[in-house]
Structure 1
Amino acid sequence: MFVQQFFVNGLAHSSYLLGGTNTCAVIDPRRDVDIYLEAAKAMEMKITHILLTHLHADFVSGFMDLADKTGAVIYAPEAGKCEFKHKALSEGSTFEIEDLAVKVLDTPGHTPEHITYVVTDRSRSEDPVAIFCGDVLFVGDVGRPDLFPGIAEKLASNLYDSLHKIVALPDYCEVYPAHGAGSLCGRAIGAKRTSTVGYERRNNYALQLKDRDMFIKSLITNMPAAPDHFSRSSAINRKGPELVRKLPVPAPLEPKDFWEAAQREDTLVLDVRSYEAFGAQHVPGSWNIMFSAVFSTFAGWILPPDKDILLVAPSKEQAQETLAALRRVGLDRVKGVLSGGMFAWAKEGLPIDHICLISGGELNEICKSARDTVILDVRSKDEFGAGHIDGAVNIPAPELRTRHTELDKDSPIAVVCTTGIRSGIACSILKTKGFKKVYNVTGGMTGYNAAGYSAECPACAAPHLPAKI
């Protein structure tokens, strides 16, 4: 038995290659699938099975592309009522991959249709050796059951039963989850990327909640906010995502053509440069989501899916990486890329806009003297609660799309997050809403605290996250 894990930073998504000697399965694949083809080729294996644990909410999966390129059979939960060609599985279903015997457990809770694959390596033993448990069980956490309005309590109760079914497996059984630290599919997933049933039984907080009602209450309260794309990715995966090879190839656009295209009501401009570069000059009305480990999550969270996208990127390579990251969250309507970047734009004499950058020291002076300036903290409610500047207003960056009306457009607004990335996003949102006096605090609370203006914030110093933004 051979297992190889593939991890996508930011989305904190783990997929797997499960192999025998000559053939293998890919479990919960990401959308850019060449990585699996290369891995299978290196191991001299043929991909014959594609296994889905559930219809993921946080990303658009690559099972259709992988099947298209390999001819492998897609296996999926029967309860998912999937619309693509597949072999439907439910409790007790079995199949083999050479010496590997795979048995299916119904494990609803995170989603209604969730299943878990229990693997036995018969070349060594008749006992189960590993589970691929998707989002039902994580390292130190369990899958959140609150993503489906109206049935959260029912799913939490199902999750309680599913977990007790899993922990009946042997202690040594290896646990291969679909997400790690940084994923919003759980509350606080551990940084370790694999575990065992025995370790989780003894140490996972959720498995210590023996009372069903207490378990349900814990799992449906105080959950982190769910990004917008969580509400649409499951449906895309149920239908079967469009093959990447059939998607339009973004056209390189000269500045004047780019500006003309940007004026269309069904089009937005997305600038993925750093917040410093964006602040210096950018296309008026554009959105700024700096390309980082968490880019896909914030793009899927913030950008409207019914708009064509025009990209501003610092290089062709960055534009290609951005394209793949957008497709992972179902944003497939990228139609053009600015040729020559903002350097070419400026040479054409086209309009530009700016966002003023200020330091932690300047923010401190504002705190002491500029009473008319609003300090807007765009971190999450929990981060804000862990430590913030006195008098600051807390509106998480994604919520500014609708909650900007709570702010006075005529007041100067100093926007702060952890490092400047989320505040860069927030500043661009405010600019698209007509705010003029917007300032981005460089270095965010991290820099503000490092300069000694306040005590270190526990959230800013949290270890093992994919990026401190």
Structure 2
Amino acid sequence: MLIQQIFTEKIAHSSYILAGDKTCAIIDPRRDIEIYLELARDLGVKITHILETHLHADFISGHIDLAQRTGATIYTPKAADCDFRSVPLAQGDSFSIEDIKLDILETPGHTPEHISYVVTDTSRGQEPVALFCGDTMFVGDVGRPDLFPGRAEELASKLYDTLHEKLLKLPDFCEIYPAHGAGSLCGRAMASKRSSTLGYEKNYNYALKINDRADFIDSLTNNMPDAPDHFSRCTDINRVGPKEVKDLTIPDALENDRFREKMKNAIILDVRSFESFGGQHIPQAYNIDRNSNFPTYAGWLLPPEKDILIVSDNYSQAFNACTQLHRVGLDRVAGYLENGMYGWVTDGLPTRHVPQISSTELHDRITAGKEMTILDVRAASEYEDFHIEGAINIPVHELRDRYSEIEHNTETILICGSGQRSSMGCSILLQKGFSNVQNVAGGMTGYAAAGYGPECPMCVLPWAPFKNK
């Protein structure tokens, strides 16, 4: 038996290949499936099973594409009531892949329909050796139960039973393989380690050490991070069955005239760095730096009913951005600006810019008592850890609705952890009619490095969901 993890950056998603000598299963596959086909080829095995633990909220699954390409059978939770052809699984079901036995546990909590796969390598023993637990349990955390409006306490209570009555009764040496790692918003406090054992988690996972049901429910239903807009959309798409990637249009390379024509009924997404966007950009464009937590913020901020036109430095960046947009169900990519901003400005077409100021400049203005609005667009938890005195906190995704709380006629300085989220915020405010917005390059990380405040605990962690974002 072989288990190999495939970790997808930015959405912090873990999928797996579970292989015998000749055949294998792919567990919780991402939408762009070539990596699984290549791995199976390299291992000399045939993909015969596609196993889903639940209806994923933060990304579009690759189960339909993978089944079409390989002829493999899809296995899903019976309670998901999926619209596509699959084998529905419930508590007590089991099946085998060569010498690998998989027993099904219903593990609701993160979602109502969730199942987990308990794996026994019968060639070596009769006790469970691995658990594919989806988003029920993570390394250092458990799945958030608050993604379904009005059902958070109910699902948190079910999660408590799932953990204590089912998963924690498996052997301590049983390895756990979750569907996400640190950086995902499907939990709150995931560790950077991507697999663990039940014994280790019993000792060091904070949620598993809460033995009182009421305390557990309270912990899992308060102070949770906001859930991005696309979470509910992706769940429904995965239930129905997403369009196959091969049926999606390849983005057109658009000359300036065609780009301008399509702009009338589309949104513009500038995926360049915040420094480049600040220098020159097309009016009304969103800026979501492709090096940031790009798919999450794209799914969060962009209206899904609109065509998307991409502005990038080159075709490779545009194609990469398109792949990441597809991962969160944004399929309406209508083209990209073929000659980039250089071709745009040399044709004399209109642009806007966002002044970039340094931490030192900001500090000097604060010290001088300059009249301005400092807008901190980080998450509330980051703001509470440390912020500039007098700064207003509106997380970037809330600016779409809360921009009216900001004074239009005052200079508005936006700051985040590094300059990326604040540049997103600048692009939103410009769309809302603000004219005097500036971005703090380096954000709170630079502000702390310049000696004006302590390090932001979230900004300095290498695996943090908002690291350099």
TM-score by shorter chain over 0.5? yes
Following TM superposition, by how much is the alpha carbon of 1:347 offset from its aligned partner in structure 2, in angstroms? 1.5
- In 2: Cα distance, 1:403 partner to 1:372 partner: 21
Distance in 1 separating the partners of 2:27 and 2:343 = 44
Give TM-score, length-normalised by structure 2.
0.98
Q: Which residue of 1 aligns with 2:268?
A: 269
1:207-266: CA deviation from partner (whole Å, max 9, x where unpaired): 1111111111111111011111112110000000011111122111101211121122xx
Q: Which residue of 2 aligns with 1:459?
A: 458
Number of the residue aligned with 1:177: 178
**Once the two structures are superposed, what CA deviation does each residue of 1:129-186 show, in whole Å capped at 9, x if it has no partner?**
1010000010010000000011111101110011111010001101000000011100
What is the aligned partner in structure 2 of residue 358 from structure 1? Answer: 357
Could you tell me the TM-score, scaled by structure 1's length? Answer: 0.98
Partner of 2:95: 95
Letter in 1 for 2:121: D
Q: What is the aligned-residue identity percentage?
A: 56
The correspondence of residues 183-332 of structure 1 with structure 2, limited to 5 A, is 183-264=184-265, 267-332=266-331
Q: Is the 8 A contact 1:133 1:176 kept in 2?
A: yes
The answer to whether structure 1 residue 391 and structure 2 residue 390 are counterparts is: yes
* Shift, 1:451, TM fit: 1.0
Query: 3-state DSSP class of the match of 2:297?
Result: helix
What is the rounded CA distance, in whole Å, between the counterparts of 2:410 and 2:304 in structure 1? 31
Q: Contact between 2:414 and 2:422, CA under 8 Å: does it hold in 1?
A: yes
State the Cα distance separating 1:318 from its structure 2 match.
0.8
What amino acid does structure 2 have at the position aligned with 1:198? G
SS in 1 for 2:177: strand
Aligned-partner Cα distance in 1 for 2:219–2:125: 38
Say whether the 8 Å CA contact 2:458–2:464 is kept in structure 1: no
Counterpart-to-counterpart distance in 2, 1:24 and 1:463: 33
Contact 1:31–1:328 (8 Å) recurs in 2: yes
Q: In structure 1, how many angstroms separate the alpha carbons of the residues matched to 2:369 and 2:70?
A: 63
Q: Which AA in structure 2 matches 1:199? A: Y
Matches within 5 A, 1:106-121: 106-121=106-121
Who is 2:77 aligned against? 77
Following superposition, the deviation at residue 463 of structure 1 comes to: 4.1
Please give the alpha-carbon distance, in whole angstroms, between the structure 2 residues aligned to 1:459 and 1:194. Answer: 22
Please report how far the alpha carbon of residue 370 of structure 1 lies from its aligned counterpart in structure 2 after TM superposition. Answer: 4.6
Tell me, which stretches of 5 or more residues in structure 1 are unaligned? none
- CA distance in 1 between partners of 2:458 and 2:239 (Å): 36
Q: What pairs up with 1:329-408 in 2 under 5 angstroms?
A: 329-408=328-407
Indicate conservation of the 8 Å contact 1:275/1:420, yes or no. yes
Q: Is the 8 A contact 2:112 2:155 kept in 1?
A: yes
Deviation for aligned residue 1:293:
4.8
Counterpart of 1:458 in 2: which secondary structure?
Answer: coil
Contact persistence 2:268–2:310 (CA under 8 A): yes
Deviations along 1:264-293, one digit per CA (max 9) or x if unpaired, are: 2xx100000000000110111100000025
Give secondary structure in 2 for the equivalent of 1:439.
Answer: strand
| In structure 2, C-alpha distance between the alignment counterparts of 1:213 and 1:456, rounded to whole Å | 35
* Contact 1:9 1:293 (8 Å CA) reproduced: no
One-letter code aligned to 1:94: S
Superposition RMSD in Å: 0.9
Partner residue, 1:128: 128
Is the Cα contact below 8 Å between 1:384 and 1:394 reproduced in 2? yes
Letter aligned with residue 386 of structure 1: D
Say if 2:17 and 2:24, in contact at 8 Å, map to a contact too: yes
| Secondary structure of 1:38 counterpart | helix
Q: Give the secondary-structure state (helix, strand or coil) at the position aligned to 1:282.
A: coil
* SS across alignment from 2:383: helix
Instruction: State which drifts further: 451-460 or 209-218.
Output: 451-460
Report the Cα distance in structure 1 between the residues aligned to 2:140 and 2:194, rounded to whole angstroms: 10
How many Å apart are 1:10 and its aligned residue?
1.4
| 2:55 aligned with 1:55 | yes
Distance 1:447 1:92 in 2: 54
State the one-letter code of the partner of 2:287.
N
**Is 1:45 aligned to residue 45 of structure 2?**
yes
Contact 1:400 1:429 (C-alpha < 8 Å) held by counterparts: yes
Q: Deviations over 1:317-336 (max 9, x none)?
A: 11111011000000000001
Q: Is the 8 A contact 1:281 1:352 kept in 2?
A: yes
Could you say what secondary structure the match of 2:141 adopts?
A: coil
SS of 2:142's equivalent in the other structure is: coil
- Residue of structure 1 equivalent to 2:20: 20
Alignment of 1:153-164 (within 5 A): 153-164=153-164
What secondary structure is seen at the aligned counterpart in 2 of 1:128? coil
Question: For 1:421-443, what per-residue CA distance to the aligned partner results, in whole angstroms no more than 9, with x for missing partners?
Answer: 00110100111111000000000
